[in-house]
Amino acid sequence: MSKQAQHWEKTRGLLIMTLAIWFVFSIGIFLFGAEMNEVTGPFGYPLTYWFTCQGSLGIFVILIFWFANKQEKIDEEFGFSERGDD
């Protein structure tokens, strides 16, 4: 397999993982919104309520930075990263 095909396969793997995490926190947990809200979440807020106003939002921020770093590593591994700028 060519270097480029391998790079793309890894990139696609990372995409699937990123989208899976995204799916859980944007859609998955809200299937059980009513049940989850009975539980006390961080800082004492009802759990579902906390996810809608802080939890999911914060996780998305972290997820994007995590994704960006991983993708940079993949690009470097195959020598496809850009040079000399940031």
Distance CA 77, CA 10 (A): 10
Residue 1 within binding range of other proteins, rule CB under 8 A? no
Residue 43 within binding range of other proteins, rule CB under 8 A? yes
Degrees to nearest 5, angle at CA 64 with 51 and 47: 10
Q: Which residues pair with 46 in a beta bridge?
A: 40
Residues that bind other proteins (CB under 8 A): 4, 7-8, 11, 14-15, 18-19, 22, 25-27, 30-34, 37, 43-46, 48-49, 51-54, 56-58, 60-61, 63-65, 67-68, 71-72, 75, 78-83, 85-86
